[in-house]
């Protein structure tokens, strides 16, 4: 059944990092043309039927299981091409909106694949139910639910991106090498050899897939492993922990730890009540 809720956005709500401006469900979405765009961010999740989205000189087909995002102020036009075009929609704003969408790879208006469409649909349904409850001034609650929705969206968009999936599959031999051989030095040449490509190509693949360079990934995994070891072997000296994660130079290990964690290994142990 069609539903639409436009919650009151108070001045206090507008200060939140995320706030809901509208949410709803259409049993059949009619054509919408907005030459001046829409004032908030929008996500529309297709349940059935098919539609067409036009943004600038780009045109997309929108099918069940897909979603499309509309950025504020961007002219667009969408219309059904196969009825009934059923969908959920949500609009929101706030200082965290762009960054959370960006982390999911959503950087402009367009259509995005969704690996598990039931997850965002469930989130939007719950938010719609909450908004329909009639509880006044629930902006904080909506903000919490909206944050959860965007985190789930990050998960299903990343998993649903065909290129990201292919890239990660190609990187798997290098990731497995790091996991198994973290106790010793590992260089970029060895990682590149594991996946059968040049170091330059490997760097490109890492940036596209994990948004970091290969050796940054290795270093972050070393620090992650070192924290696990400090918990399991609390009496083991820091220099031995460093050696166990493939870093024979304790000073460099400590410097790297502080760079990535913001505190020294000793401060980390003290913070968590571990034996020094």
All structural domains of the chain with their residue ranges = 3-160, 164-271
Torsion, Cα of 112, 151, 71, 28 (10° steps): 60
> For residue 120, what pLDDT is reported?
93
> For residue 160, what pLDDT is reported?
47
Q: Has residue 163 got a pLDDT over 70?
A: no
Strands (E) across 128-229 are located at none
Confidence band for 66, pLDDT divided at 50, 70 and 90: very high
Q: Say whether 151 sits in a helix, a strand or coil.
A: helix
Nearest to 51 by CA among 24, 32, 25: 32
Q: Say whether 220 sits in a helix, a strand or coil.
A: helix
Confidence band for 165, pLDDT divided at 50, 70 and 90: low
- 3-160 and 164-271: identical CATH topology: no
- Determine contact, residues 120/91, Cβ cutoff 8 Å: no
Strands (E) across the chain are located at 3-5, 19-26, 32-34, 41-55, 58-62, 66-70, 76-93, 110-113
> For residue 104, what pLDDT is reported?
83
Q: Has residue 1 got a pLDDT over 80?
A: no
Confidence band for 78, pLDDT divided at 50, 70 and 90: very high
Class of 3-160 in CATH? mainly beta
CATH code of 164-271, in short, is 1.10.10.60
Q: Has residue 154 got a pLDDT over 90?
A: no
Confidence band for 169, pLDDT divided at 50, 70 and 90: confident
- Determine contact, residues 174/195, Cβ cutoff 8 Å: yes
Average pLDDT across the chain, whole number: 91
Q: Has residue 86 got a pLDDT over 50?
A: yes
Nearest to 163 by CA among 192, 128, 205, 200: 205
Q: Say whether 83 sits in a helix, a strand or coil.
A: strand
- Determine contact, residues 214/172, Cβ cutoff 8 Å: no
Confidence band for 238, pLDDT divided at 50, 70 and 90: very high
Question: Looking at 80-84, 106-110, 240-244, 272-276, which range is the least confident one?
Answer: 272-276
- Segment 67-75 shows an average pLDDT of 96
- Segment 152-159 shows an average pLDDT of 78
> For residue 64, what pLDDT is reported?
93
Residue 217: CB atoms within 10 A of its CB come to: 19
- The structure's pTM equals 0.65
> For residue 164, what pLDDT is reported?
53
- Using only C-alpha atoms, what is the Rg of the chain? 24
């Amino acid at each position: 059944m069609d539903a639409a809720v436009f919650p009151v956005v108070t001045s206090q709500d507008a200060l939140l990092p995320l706030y809901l401006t509208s949410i709803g469900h259409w049993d059949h979405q009619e054509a919408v043309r907005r030459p001046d765009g829409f004032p908030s961010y929008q996500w529309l999740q297709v349940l059935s039927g098919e539609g067409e989205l036009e943004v600038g000189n780009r045109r997309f087909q929108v099918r069940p299981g897909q979603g499309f995002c509309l950025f504020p102020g961007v002219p667009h036009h969408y219309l059904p091409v196969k009825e009934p075009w059923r969908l959920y929609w949500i609009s929101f704003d706030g200082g965290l909106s762009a960054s959370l969408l960006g982390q999911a790879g959503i950087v402009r208006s367009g259509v995005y694949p969704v690996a598990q469409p039931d997850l965002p649909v469930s989130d939007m349904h719950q938010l719609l139910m909450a908004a329909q409850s009639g509880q006044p001034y629930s902006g904080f609650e909506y903000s919490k639910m909206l944050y959860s929705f965007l985190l789930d969206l990050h998960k299903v968009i990343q998993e649903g991106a065909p290129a990201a999936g292919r890239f990660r599959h190609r990187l798997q031999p290098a990731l497995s090498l790091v996991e198994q051989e973290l106790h010793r030095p590992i260089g970029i040449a060895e990682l590149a050899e594991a996946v059968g490509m040049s170091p330059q190509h490997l760097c490109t693949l890492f940036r596209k897939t994990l948004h970091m360079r290969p050796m940054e990934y290795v270093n972050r995994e070393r620090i992650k492993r070192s924290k696990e070891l400090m918990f399991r072997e609390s009496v083991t000296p820091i220099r031995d922990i460093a050696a166990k994660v493939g870093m024979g130079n304790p000073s460099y290990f400590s410097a790297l730890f502080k760079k990535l964690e913001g505190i020294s290994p000793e401060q980390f142990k003290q913070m968590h009540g571990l034996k020094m």
